[in-house]
Amino acid sequence: MLPAVLATSAALATGALLAPGTAVADPTAAAGPLLQTTCSFDQIDAALHDRAPQVANNLDANPDRKDMLRQFFALPVDQRQAALDAYLAANPDLQAKRDQLRSGPYADQIAAKVAKIADTCHSY
């Protein structure tokens, strides 16, 4: 189940914070603040509802994905990064997409939104 958790969490932790219709960006760079956060998933979810309601609504409409994210964020911080790194190494298609989008037009926007969620989640 862990690969599914990682695939979903990597996609949602970054790509879900984009404007509709955009692709998933670099999960290791843009999602770094969320991967390193000590916030619980419930705190992250509350921050999403406040700061990115469209993302929160999407997660609410997909309870299986939301549960996978809950499981992923229940992992200790050091295990999250290691698990994500292993998943990306085992999935060269995602690695290639990451490399392609790393310098994309939305990279700064994604990083800012993710950082804002990570910076504010402790207040929820």
pLDDT tens series, the chain, 124 aa? 444 444 444 544 444 443 333 344 444 455 678 888 999 999 999 999 999 898 899 899 999 889 888 988 999 988 988 877 787 788 788 777 776 666 777 777 777 888 899 999 999 9
Provide the pLDDT for residue 122. 96
Structure tokens at 53: 């309601």
Contact of 25 with 110, CB cutoff 8 Å: yes
Q: Select from 70, 85, 106, 86 the least CA-distant residue to 27.
A: 85
